[in-house]
Amino acid sequence: MRQFLKFMLASMVGTFLIGAVLIMLFIGSLAALGSSFAMEGQPTKVKDGTILHLRLDQEFTDRGSKDQFMLNFGPFRDANKIGLNTLLATLDHAKTDDHIEGIFLDLTDMQAGFATMKEIHGKIAQFKKDSGKPVVAYSDTYSQGTYYVATAADAIYLQPKGDLAYHGLHSEYMFFKGLFEKLDIDVQFIRGSNNKFKSFGEVFTEDHMSDANREQNRVLMSGLWEEHLTAVSESRKLDKARLNLIADSLMVRNAEAALELGMVDGLKYRDEVLDILREKMGIEADKELELAELGTYARSFTPDYEKGGENKGKLAVIYAEGGIASGESEDGTIGSTDLSAAIRGAREDSTIKAIVLRVNSPGGSGLASDVIWREVDLAKKVKPVVVSMGDVAASGGYYISAPATKIFAEPSTITGSIGVFGIIPNMQGFFKNKLGITFDGEKTHQYADMMTVSRPLTEHEKTIIQGYVDEFYTGFKERVAEGRKMTTAQVDSIGQGRVWTGVDAKRIGLVDELGGLEDAIAAAAKMADLTDYKRVELPEQKDLLEQIVADLNGQARMWVATELLGEDMQLLDQYRKVREAKELTGIQARMPFDLVIH
């Protein structure tokens, strides 16, 4: 007992001290913030001869918080995410800003999906073409993703002892069948009939990939690699066959090889790259470079889309990012309640003439997806609704997109996954054999305990749940068929849980156009005959203080996990997914796997 009290007291004191430190840091940061720029939102000043310094090393999100850069320093910097909408608006403004001489693309790291990188790559290339201003890329180490973005620059430099990864793409799954067998847990995975590509449950029930899943992985990665090859080939003037040989033979093994093969323009230290910037931009050698970080520069102007002629009509951009669940949205989750309310509000607002729904979701709850689908379908009958797909818009993410007037996707968007599944773990053996726990009870009706995890499903119960899943899959196909003007047989032939790249999705009729968020906005405005209009972004965001508290809570949890596990953080993430297996007892419309491009 004495040791317990000592431990508890030490924990309380530690918690108090951490809280006190956080409060002092917060107060000090606010004071520093107040001295650096006016809290009332007065824009920062940009000097002549400024270079826009893009360090894109924070996690990307489709929509940045309204105060995303107010605390973009010190202990708060890592809590921020870069809004793709903000970056695109910044590059647009910098094109015509006489204070900006060019861009220094500092690509140490990027936490973004392939479609997001494609949109950034395209915007930088457009900046370069329209403005004639130089863009220089530099990194100590290029991943394949950051190198892809770098190919939009005029020149690419690499640290002399740095590295450039160029080895092709791979996918890897962690299978838990053996773990569950050791724990005496039987994961009862039920997917829609003929949903052979809906492979989410395989990681819980098998020890290897199914042939169908292997096939869709191969096709998907081939499509993504082709998009990558095209960009690199056009930028570096290297034949695709040559690039494939470089990747297949792992010819880029050091910085010198990257230079010899023509992948980069020079091996330079950071100070040498800064000298090159001075020369390119006509800045005297002894003069210090004026670099403006993204956060600083974004506070220097109001985006054009916020200054449009509101009385001539508005266009709403509604963001749906994360897994789909019932209730209110949380960080990384699309809540059906508030997203539906946002769509309904835009539909009922007569000043809003068109809606763009930005979907970046692997799906989730089938019920929640249907709730959102209803509002999209109702809105489409009143005004144009254009969907812009981000990195992923699959399963439930596609379900809510299907009724739109028009659908845009990036070539590297992952979409489709038209299929359904359910997971009901049987943990009877685990409780009895590992914990010594047994269950007993009474029930008033035969199926009152059908969804319990304390016993296995009977064959008849499995048949009933299979019926639920198949019924939802039939409804899913009908929703898509109605929205895409197909027959349900046509939808089934390209459904079955299979995922597609944006390029393939356009070929088979699941999307209408290839393009990014700005392309979708332009199309929606044209449909509604909008020229001088104001853009509004929905749902309403939290104010600064609420966002800080939410971000700090998330960062605190991540910091503790990272400190405890270090490089094994991926194991924690996989464990979380295993634990979710016992919670996914409802019908799920979710992408069959999570894909990270390396």
- Give the CA angle between residues 463, 469, 472 to the nearest 5°: 140
Instruction: Give the E-state strand segments of 395-457 in sequence order.
Output: 406-409, 414-416, 421-426
Question: What residue spans define the domains of the chain?
Answer: 50-171+216-298, 305-423+438-590
Domains 50-171+216-298 and 305-423+438-590 share a fold: yes
Rounded Cα gap, residues 144 and 139, in angstroms = 12
Overall residue count recorded for the chain in this entry: 598
User: What's the confidence (pLDDT) of residue 7?
Assistant: 45
What digits encode the pLDDT tens for the residues 107-134?
978 888 889 999 999 999 999 999 999 9
Contact 199, 212 (CB under 8 A): yes
Note if the pTM is more than 0.75. Answer: yes
* DSSP three-state, residue 182: helix
CATH topology of domain 50-171+216-298: 2-enoyl-CoA Hydratase; Chain A, domain 1 (3.90.226)
Q: Please, what is the end-to-end C-alpha distance for the chain in angstroms?
A: 50
Contact 335, 367 (CB under 8 A): no
- Which residues, 6+ apart, have CB-to-CB distance to 315 below 8 Å? 352, 353, 354, 355, 356, 521, 524, 525, 528, 530, 533, 534, 535, 536
Q: What is the 3-state secondary structure (H, E, C) of 44-81?
A: CCCCCCEEEEEECCCEEECCCCCCCCCCCCHHHHHHCC
pLDDT per residue as tens, the chain (598 positions)? 444 444 444 455 455 555 555 555 555 554 444 444 444 445 678 888 899 999 988 888 999 876 555 555 544 444 578 899 999 999 999 999 999 999 999 997 888 888 999 999 999 999 999 999 999 999 999 999 999 999 999 999 999 999 999 999 988 888 989 999 999 999 898 887 777 777 777 888 889 988 888 898 899 899 999 999 999 999 999 999 999 999 999 999 999 999 999 999 999 999 999 999 888 877 777 788 889 999 889 888 888 777 766 667 899 999 999 999 999 887 778 999 999 999 999 999 999 999 999 999 999 888 999 999 999 999 999 999 999 999 999 999 999 999 999 999 999 999 999 988 888 899 999 999 999 999 999 999 998 988 888 999 999 999 999 998 899 999 999 999 999 999 999 999 999 889 999 999 999 999 999 999 999 999 999 999 998 899 999 998 766 555 555 555 555 555 544 555 454 455 445 444 444 444 444 566 665 555 554 4
Catalytic center residues:
198, 395
User: What's the confidence (pLDDT) of residue 546?
Assistant: 54
Rounded Cα gap, residues 171 and 173, in angstroms = 7
What digits encode the pLDDT tens for the residues 129-165?
999 999 999 999 999 999 999 999 999 999 999 999 9
DSSP assignment letter at 432: I
CATH topology of domain 305-423+438-590: 2-enoyl-CoA Hydratase; Chain A, domain 1 (3.90.226)
User: What's the confidence (pLDDT) of residue 4?
Assistant: 41
Number of CB atoms found within 10 A of residue 475's CB: 15
